[in-house]
Amino acid sequence: MSLKSLVLCSDEKIVRVLRRVLGDLEIDVELCADSDGALRKLTRQRFEAIIVDVMDDGATEVLRSARNAPCNKQAVAVAIVEPIIGLKAVFEIGAHFVLYKPVSIERAKSSFRAARALMKSERRRNARVAVQIPVVLRSTSVGSNMKVTTIDLSEGGMAVSLPNRRRPSGRWQIAFTLPGTQKSLELPAEFAWEGSRDQAGLRFQNISPEATRQLQEWLKQNSPEVEQDDPPIRCQLTDLSLGGCYLEISSPFPASSRVTLSMRAGSAEVRAQGVVRIMHPDKGMGVEFTQGTPEHRTAVEKFLEVLNENRSLMPELLVEPQGLESESSAQKPSADVDDPLLHLFYGESLTPEQFHEAMRKQRATPPAAVGNASAAAHA
């Protein structure tokens, strides 16, 4: 099944570039001449990408409406803008990627390769496989148990049939075994929606890379439409702490993107999940790790130790997008978290130049003075 994009743009030169680049990337183009036509299509069709020239009348309303359309709220939004327009204003209207005018084929290819990887991961994450599996739920607050049966399963959650029309809420620990496998999965989840009659939806919460891998492999084997993911993207690690990292990459993923990182330096390897908290177009992105397990912390500590002992060692790093967060969960670190890099992610708004200068100052600070939750960077 081809990826589909909705394009609102009246500039013929830009449209020609978009058709060529998107065609090469196997992304179908649905061109709209005006915002009214685009708004109608948003309510009737599903698109993996919404691409608008913000100079066109109604373009802002199209982007905002996409966020409210049930079938397109997770579509990747690309805004085509003049260089004088500030990034903050573009991101506030719902854009994930920014393409500056004049639009060149090379720049468009770079941006849309990253966008396509995110589009594929988002569609894969939402693909559901109908299956009936017994699931045991344990409340994390009161400790009560409940048994339910799945209706369908996806990478991000499951629909379940509730007994006796119960209407539970909040967070639960769930346990189930995928058909054809022997190992039981135990995942944190929360009730996300209620359907008609006795149906409800559970959304998985911060699951481990190993559990994610098991789910992805099972879904690929059992999905009627298996789609090959784009290969991981190679990037450069410049700063690393126990709580996150900063990566140099020409086409960074937007804030709130969930990513999987594979890092290797000598004998040390780390596979981590995270969320992009800050993004600088054409420069890089800051990723906060979402795993808080002792095993993850130990692995990162070992990785940092290897880097600090051998400053000439260049770590290898690959990043894969895993979709967009449905709701922003960004919060400032608690007062007892002493991680300067994370505080920089969540601190005052800085220009890319100011941000990179602040990171350089952090690198110059001796590790003992920085604190035990952060460590020396590697550039």
Q: What integer is the mean pLDDT of 105-134? A: 88
Q: Is residue 136 part of a domain?
A: yes
Same domain, 256 and 216: no
Does residue 66 share a domain with residue 33? yes
Query: Do residues 190 and 242 share a domain?
Result: no
Looking at the domain assignment, is residue 335 inside a domain? yes
Please give the distance of CA 5 from its chain centroid, rounded to a whole number: 19
Q: Classify residue 202 as exposed, middle or buried by CB count within 10 Å of its CB (0-12, 13-18, 19+).
A: buried
Predicted TM-score (pTM) of this structure:
0.78
Residue 14 sits in the same domain as residue 118:
yes
User: How many domains, the chain?
Assistant: 3
Residues 22 and 108 in one domain: yes
**DSSP 8-state secondary structure symbol assigned to residue 253:** P
Same domain, 193 and 77: no
pLDDT at residue number 373: 36
CA distance linking residue 277 with residue 259, whole number of Å: 11
List the domain range (segments joined by +) for residue 246: 233-370
266 and 364 assigned to the same domain = yes
Judged against a pLDDT cut of 70, whether residue 238 lies above it is answered with: yes
Q: Is residue 43 part of a domain?
A: yes
298 is a domain residue: yes
pLDDT digits (tens, 9 = 90+) for 30-45: 999 899 999 999 988 9
Q: Are residues 110 and 18 in the same domain?
A: yes
Long-range contacts of 183-189 (CB under 8 A, 24+ apart): 183/214, 185/211, 185/214, 185/215, 187/211, 188/140, 189/157
In this predicted structure, the answer to whether residue 294 has a pLDDT above a threshold of 80 is yes
The mean of the pLDDT values for the chain is: 85
Percent of the chain with pLDDT over 90: 45
Q: Which CATH number do you get for residue 328?
A: 2.40.10.220
The identity of residue 218, as a single letter, is W
Residue 268's closest CA among 232, 210, 315, 235? 315
Name the token pair of 261: 């990182």
- Helix axis angle, 35-44 to 59-68, nearest 10°: 10
Residue 69: CB partners within 8 Å, gap ≥ 6?
42, 43
- What CATH number has the domain bearing residue 80? 3.40.50.2300
The whole-number pLDDT of residue 220 equals 82
Are 113 and 135 within one domain? Answer: no
Helix (H, G, I), strand (E, B) or coil at 35: helix
Amino acid, res. 296: H
